[in-house]
Structure 1
Amino acid sequence: MTVPPTAGVLAGMRDLLAAPDAQGGAIWRLTPVARQLDANLIRLLPGTLGTSHVEPDLDVLLCVLAGSGELEIGGARQELEPGSVAWLPHGMARSLSAGPDGLVHVTAHRRRPGLTIGNAAAVREPATGGEPACMLGRVCPDCDHPAEDAAARFCSRCGSRLPS
């Protein structure tokens, strides 16, 4: 068995956390193409209020690295601080809000396979992992700017289409 060239240490979280925090959104993403896992380092700016949503297919593991905030899941509110680890089961309503110092967290979940062109009459298999989880559907894929409006379809900074 050969080890892929990107296996092993992929990033230094200390360096990523020390970078200027003027911009929220995805700071780092797991990028090797041949993978079964998706992981993201997400920065929510101070005071960011989460919008409740349901991820129908994916369980998500969330680990807080810096800042503070609040997780609302299944109608219950829980405080988040560095070192907090939360399991977000699929099918359950959730929202994530940042405290006065912002919130930086890592999410990990199964990868959802990419979109393919196929026969419209074909039966679609259930999703088996991947993007988007949490607020990632609101992060511009081109400039990483987070949309403040959950209903936004285009990035207010660069005009790119947001993930749907």
Structure 2
Amino acid sequence: MPAALCDIDALAAASATGVLWKLTESGRQLDANLVRLAPGRHIAPHAEPDLDVLVLVVSGAGTLAAGTEGEPLPLAAGSLFWLPHGSTRGITAGDDGLAYLTVHRRRPGMQIGRAR
């Protein structure tokens, strides 16, 4: 059944940092996380080989380093970015911090099979 999950604005306004919320409903096909970075903090550049990711900035500002060349892209509240699988990306929070929501297809869980 459809359900209200959280108040994004209230969570993003909190002073806590890190993962503030994550989608945990059983049977879901998506993963989603609300992340808040303190001012000047960053997520190191990395590549996601398998999943496309949507990033929605909900508060604050910062930059998105996409790829290994070119200028970082500005992030501001309301910005929506698509990060295609295989792309390299890094996120840096601005002077007031940055809160953003990520959404992507759920990774299959680790499974243990029987030896044959």
Q: Which has the higher contact order (CA 8 A, sep 6+)?
A: 2
Letter in 1 for 2:57: V
Shift of 1:120: 7.6
Shift of 1:96: 0.6
* Alignment size in residue pairs: 114
In structure 2, how many angstroms separate the alpha carbons of the residues matched to 1:59 and 1:120? Answer: 33
Shift of 1:37: 0.6
Shift of 1:117: 1.1
Q: 2:58: which partner in 1? A: 65
The aligned runs of 1:104-119 (5 Å cut-off) are 104-118=99-113
In the alignment, structure 1 residue 49 sits paired with structure 2 residue 48: no
**1:63-110 CA-partner distances (Å, limit 9, x unpaired):** 001111000112331010101111111101111111111100000000
Shift of 1:9: 1.3
Shift of 1:119: 5.4
Higher strand share: 2
Q: Closer, same or farther in 2 for the Cα pair 1:89/1:120, shift >3 Å? A: farther
In structure 1, how many angstroms separate the alpha carbons of the residues matched to 2:9 and 2:44? Answer: 29
1:80 corresponds, among 67, 72, 75, to: 75
In structure 1, how many angstroms separate the alpha carbons of the residues matched to 2:79 and 2:44? Answer: 20
| Unaligned stretches of 5+ residues in structure 2 | none
Q: 1:18: which partner in 2? A: 13
Identity across the alignment (%): 49
- SS across alignment from 2:44: coil
- SS across alignment from 1:28: strand
Q: How large is the RMSD of aligned CA atoms in angstroms?
A: 1.6
Q: 1:92: which partner in 2? A: 87
| Unaligned stretches of 5+ residues in structure 1 | 122-164
